[in-house]
Amino acid sequence: MNDSTAEKRALPIGIFDSGLGGLTALKEIRRVLPGEDLIYFGDTGRVPYGTRSRQTIIRYARQDVRFLLSQNIKCIVAACGTVSATALEVLREEFSLPILGVIDPAVKKAVAVTKNGRVGVIATPSTIHSHAYADRIALLAPAMQVTECACPLFVPLVENGFFGADDPVPELVAQRYLEPIRQAGADTLILGCTHYPLLKEIIARVLPGVQLIDTGVEVAHSLQA
Ligand code: DGL
């Protein structure tokens, strides 16, 4: 290993999200890459991103990346479905370091594990409006039936601490939001926002037997690869 490769390996990986959701990805990255230093930025002053315009999300994401660059990192994980869906291409054009998003790894996994070819996607309103997950699924597996649902209350619930497995408040909201997924008979559900794994137990109770795809887990494997 030459000096500059060794130096690069020693630099941290930057991870960001609008708030605490990206910590679900950080936890997985720490598990699969225990030797790496990680720097996390959660933009809790401006969360949520997922109800904002594309222009605003791009502006915020650009600022998040600039902050992480000031910390001398070697690559970035956009641990945010909303940023990955709306701003990733722009960020990759503007910045020269590698930037990973959460959409492709989650889609690959969902397409690989579904048995009945019916995949659900839940995410923030801006991610759902972008159809980023559905478009990627269509590219990889055109015959898949995709049902997309925006869950705008999930992020504020999580950010305000309403994610306990026995909390009836998020469970009631989940029952309402997830009904179209249940009716579509999806056997696989992409948790398309990194806040949603914090509601995993509740979602699993509302949709028993449905395989839940955690974007944080999938992006961690992709980063490792
Ligand atoms: N964790 C972000 C995502 O994955 C949350 C978006 C938000 O702030 O609304 O989409």
Mean pLDDT of the chain: 95
How far apart CA 112 and CA 208 sit, in angstroms, is: 20
192 close to ligand 1 (CB < 6 Angstrom): no
Choosing from 75, 80, 149, 151, the catalytic residue is 80
| 80 is a catalytic site residue | yes
pLDDT value, residue 7: 61
φ, ψ for residue 201, nearest 5 deg: -65, -40
Q: Is 147 in the pocket of ligand 1 (CB under 6 A)?
A: no
For ligand 1, the distance from its centroid to the CA atom of residue 90, given in whole angstroms, is 18
Cα(21) to centroid(ligand 1), Å: 7
Cite the beta strand spans of 44-159 per DSSP E: 75-78, 99-100, 118-123, 145-150
Q: Which of 193, 200, 214 to mutate to test the pocket of ligand 1 (most atoms within 8 A of CB)?
A: 193
Type of residue at 125: P
Cβ atoms of 194 and 48 within 8 Å: the answer is no
- What is the side-by-side strand order in the sheet with 188-191? 145-150, 118-123, 188-191, 211-214
Cα of 142 from ligand 1 centre, angstroms:
27
Quote the pLDDT of residue 2: 58
Predicted TM-score of the model (pTM): 0.94
pLDDT digits (tens, 9 = 90+) for 4-38: 666 666 899 999 999 999 999 999 999 999 999 99
Residue 176 pLDDT: 97
pLDDT at 48: 96
User: In this predicted model, what pLDDT tens digit does every residue of 47-100 receive, in sequence order?
Assistant: 999 999 999 999 999 999 999 999 999 999 999 999 999 999 999 999 999 999
Q: In the annotation, is 193 catalytic? A: yes
| Amino acid residing at 171 | E
Q: Choose between 153 and 2: higher pLDDT.
A: 153
Average pLDDT over residues 194-214: 97
Which tens digits make up the pLDDT trace of 94-145?
999 999 999 999 999 999 999 999 999 999 999 999 999 999 999 999 999 9
Band of the pLDDT at 223, cuts 50, 70, 90?
very high
* Spatial CA neighbour of 103 closest among 79, 125, 120, 124: 79
Dig out the tokens for 96 from the structure: 């020269």
The response to whether residue 42 sits with its C-beta less than 6 Å from ligand 1 reads no
Per-residue tokens: 107:
């889609």
pLDDT of residue 10: 86
Q: Span 194-213, mean pLDDT?
A: 97
Distance CA 132, CA 50 (A): 13
CA–centroid distance, 96 to ligand 1, in Å, is: 24
